[in-house]
Chains A and B, each alone.
Chain A
Amino acid sequence: MAVRGAATEGAVVRGRVLVVDDDLALAEMLGIVLRNEGLEVAHCADGSEALAIFRESRPDLVLLDVMLPGLDGMEVCRRIRGESGVPIVMLTARTDTVDVVVGLESGADDYVVKPFKPQELIARVRARLRRGDEPAPERLTIGDLEIDVAGHSVRRDGVALSLTPLEFDLLVALARKPWQVFTRELLLEQVWGYRHAGDTRLVNVHVQRLRSKIEHDPERPEIVVTVRGVGYKAGPA
């Protein structure tokens, strides 16, 4: 079998991926595909062991099945998010609105619906891992926040706010072009790495989460402002 080079698509992305899935065939297949891309893969088949293996393997990204024996995917997601901002991509067989939204609200950055094509999965994984590729030193301000892009930190009056990498990327994307209104589709492309139409609920849920961390009053946002009928933009500095 011809091994597909990791260099075939974009920059080389290295990292360790933890696959949490009880379906052994799928987990093994995921392992093959991810290793082909040059990633390291750890595996866990039981929700209740997932957290221990997560701590032990310290992955750069978690692929998490929603339906798991022991502890369900949402709960595992919540617990991992409780101690780390590591990117989490959910694997779900159900596309029903409720499932997706609950998954996102429990802290997942993105989700992939089964059955997916390997390229699709790889694209998402890459998009979530690519960040951290030695960004140039850059300082941005949005509202009363100061962003140190290279240092991955957001401060208000010198106090650091804790954002997940995805929330950080979202904020940076808005802050870099404060004059531009971003449609949800554009944000999906820039932050999540979707090349085709994706689920705009992803954007909605993560904007809500971001606001709850950075806004003074999340009900009346001033930093990430909604432009009705279009999308979002950075609020006036």
Chain B
Amino acid sequence: MAARAVARGLAERAGSALRGGSRRLRHLWRASLAFRVVVVTMLLGLLVLSAVGTYLYGSIAQGLVDGRQKIAADDSLVLARDAQRQFDATDKTESVATLTQMATDLAKGYTQNARSERRYVVITRADSNSRPFVIPPVETSSVGLRYIPATLRQAVSTAPGRQHLQVATVTENGDEVSAVIVGQPIEIPVAGTYGIYFIYPMQREREIISLIGQTFLLGGAALIVLIGIIAFVVTRLVADPVRRAARVAERFADGHLGERMRAKGEDDLARLGNSFNAMATSIQQQIAQLENLSRVQQRFVSDVSHELRTPLTTIRMAGELIHDARSSFDPAVARSAELLRGELDRFESLLSDLLEISRFDAGAASLEVEATDLGACVDRVVASLAPLAERRGSTIAVREPPGLVVAEMDSRRIERILRNLVSNAIEHGDGRPIEVSLGSNDSAVAVTVRDHGVGLRPGEAALVFTRFWRADPARARTTGGTGLGLAISLEDARLHAGRLEAWGAPGEGSCFRLTLPRHAEGAIVSSPLPLNPLGAARSDHRLGPASPPRTSPPDPPPGGRAATVGSATAPAAAADRQP
């Protein structure tokens, strides 16, 4: 019983440690296989050990008590018979005092006070005896009459001639202890039926049982700890190689393709190591092969582009010469000369775009950053493209916040992005107005280029940056773009750690947003301008055409910024530039 209680106590403590248990324990539980295995093994061990221990403890205790009872029964039988014989041998006419003295003597003689084997004796009248001749009850120590259970006394008086045995608790020297009490009736001349009771305290048995209990607890605890240690060692034996494997795999994933696992022996772990290594080698080879292939291809594109340049120069000069002299040709030849020159321009820009792309692919593109005013870049680009816009019937409106919008950038590349975005807007803007907006916040600067042309179909926004992608293959190309402009722009933006995003809806036009970090090493927290202009555009319709379109920052402005943006739109609306 005690062992079970102890086991329950332990389990509870372990449980509460885990429950109340700090996040650390829970984290350990999730993170450490060894910890989990050790805990589970120890709990299971505890369960089995307490079951076995309880059973063993119980049966040993029972055996001890049974043995004691048997000894007590045998012992008391002999003594009771001896007492009966002694009483039988007395005269039938003895006085009460003599008989009392004799009973007392007998009881004293039977009493044992040895440390290990104790025996107390009580002689008292049976309940059924009603003779007038009374011997007062005889006790040999304080462990006496009051500990004889009434049921035992009754059994002795109602069923004479045999032994009656009961276990009861007695207090011996202030110490409660179980005792075997054996009662037997004896016939005393003149006085009639009396009961003689022998009390055997089980002090020794109790000591043995508690010793066994302690031994079980200690042994059990030691065994549990041992089980835990074994579980830990075994787990580590398995988990360590797995951990090493995980580390190797992580390093491999980080790009250390030469990383290999140690694979010794022929066990499962060695097999794991071997297959991992085989996989790693195969991946490494394939990557090397692909890298090589890609390098060859990039090199090829670059070489082709360069090799084409010299003959193109000759053709170009010849073309110019012929073009300059076209007035002296007949009309068909003259027109041919014009076409020749126009297509040469296109060919040349295609070639230089290809070269630029191949430079990006080869990772050879480098940034030359300098703190630059984005507004000035926008103005330059818009000024250079205004004639083209005019030919297409579009106007370009620029909205700038007051003051400079400065960021660290490579102005050559940024202007190229802006040129691509604006000429793209002109090409697809269907002659409607184009809006270029600037914005800035603490972390970033941004430009949006908005047109009101056919817009993009769902899903096309992701495709516009694909090389040589065309929204509608059937649509005629009029401004002679190369199909690489937006792809190059995206690469340029990436080189700046910036973002280039597209939005479009059918019939609503499209909007491109370039966001750049303010500082070359900085990160963009949020873009200062919204990509999707539709919400703002709808409210415009409600406000009427007279009010200038508002560009509201996507993140709630701290105080004055909304006013800044609002006030920026007013001069911008007037500043529809037509240089």
Residues of chain A at the chain B interface (Cβ within 8 Å): 1-2, 4, 23, 25-26, 29-30, 32-33, 36, 91, 93-97, 114-119
Contact = CB atoms under 8 A, between A and B. Distances in A.
Contact of B317 (A1, A30, A95, A96): A30
B316 A115 contact: yes
B314 A29 contact: yes
Contact of B325 (A1, A25, A96): A1
A29 B348 contact: no
A26 B313 contact: yes
Contacts of A26: 310-311, 313-314
A114 B318 contact: no
Closest 10 CB pairs of A and B: A115-B313, A93-B309, A115-B312, A114-B309, A114-B313, A26-B314, A29-B314, A2-B325, A29-B317, A25-B314
A32 B348 CA distance: 22
B157 to A, nearest CB: 124
B468 to A, nearest CB: 22
Contact of B320 (A1, A114, A119): A119
Contacts of B313: 26, 29, 91, 114-116
B286 interface: no
Contacts of B364: 96
Nearest to B325: A2
Given A4-B324, A96-B359, A115-B348, 16 more contacts: A23-B311, A25-B311, A29-B313, A29-B317, A33-B317, A33-B321, A93-B306, A93-B309, A94-B306, A97-B366, A115-B351, A116-B313, A116-B316, A118-B317, A118-B320, A119-B320
Contacts of A96: 359, 364
Nearest to A21: B310
Contacts of B312: 114-115
B93 interface: no
A47 to B, nearest CB: 16
Contacts of A94: 306
13 contacts: A2-B324, A2-B325, A26-B310, A26-B314, A93-B309, A94-B306, A95-B355, A96-B359, A114-B309, A115-B313, A116-B313, A117-B316, A117-B317
A84 B21 CA distance: 87
Given A2-B328, A94-B306, A96-B364, A32 B316 contact: no
B323 to A, nearest CB: 10
A2 B329 CA distance: 10
A121 to B, nearest CB: 8
A114 B321 contact: no
Among the interface residues B317, B318, B324, B348, which one has the most CB atoms of the partner chain A within 10 A? B317
Contacts of B348: 115
Nearest to B344: A115
Size band of the B side of the interface? Answer: 20 to 34
Interface in B344-364: 348, 351, 355, 359, 364
A29 B306 contact: no
The B interface, classified by DSSP as helix, strand, loop or mixed, is: helix
Contacts of A36: 321
Interface string B477-521: 000000000000000000000000000000000000000000000
Contacts of B355: 95
A2 B306 CA distance: 32
Given A115-B316, A116-B316, A117-B316, A1 B321 contact: yes
B310 A23 contact: yes
Among the interface residues A23, A32, A97, A118, which one has the most CB atoms of the partner chain B within 10 A? A118
A2 B309 CA distance: 27
B317 A114 contact: no
Contacts of B366: 97
B162 to A, nearest CB: 121
Contacts of B310: 23, 26, 93, 114
Nearest to B307: A93
Among the interface residues A30, A33, A114, which one has the most CB atoms of the partner chain B within 10 A? A114
Interface string B286-329: 00000000000000000000100111111111101100110110
Nearest to A93: B309
B377 to A, nearest CB: 12
B153 to A, nearest CB: 119
B512 to A, nearest CB: 24
Interface string B550-563: 00000000000000
Nearest to B324: A4
Contacts of A117: 316-317, 320
A120 B309 CA distance: 16
Contacts of B316: 115-118
Contacts of B311: 23, 25-26
A95 B302 CA distance: 12
A203 to B, nearest CB: 14
Contacts of B320: 117-119
B5 to A, nearest CB: 84
Contacts of B315: 115
A12 B366 CA distance: 42
A29 B310 CA distance: 11
Nearest to A27: B314
A2 B328 CA distance: 8
Among the interface residues A2, A36, A91, A115, which one has the most CB atoms of the partner chain B within 10 A? A115
Nearest to B370: A229
A118 B321 contact: yes
A115 B325 CA distance: 21
B416 to A, nearest CB: 12
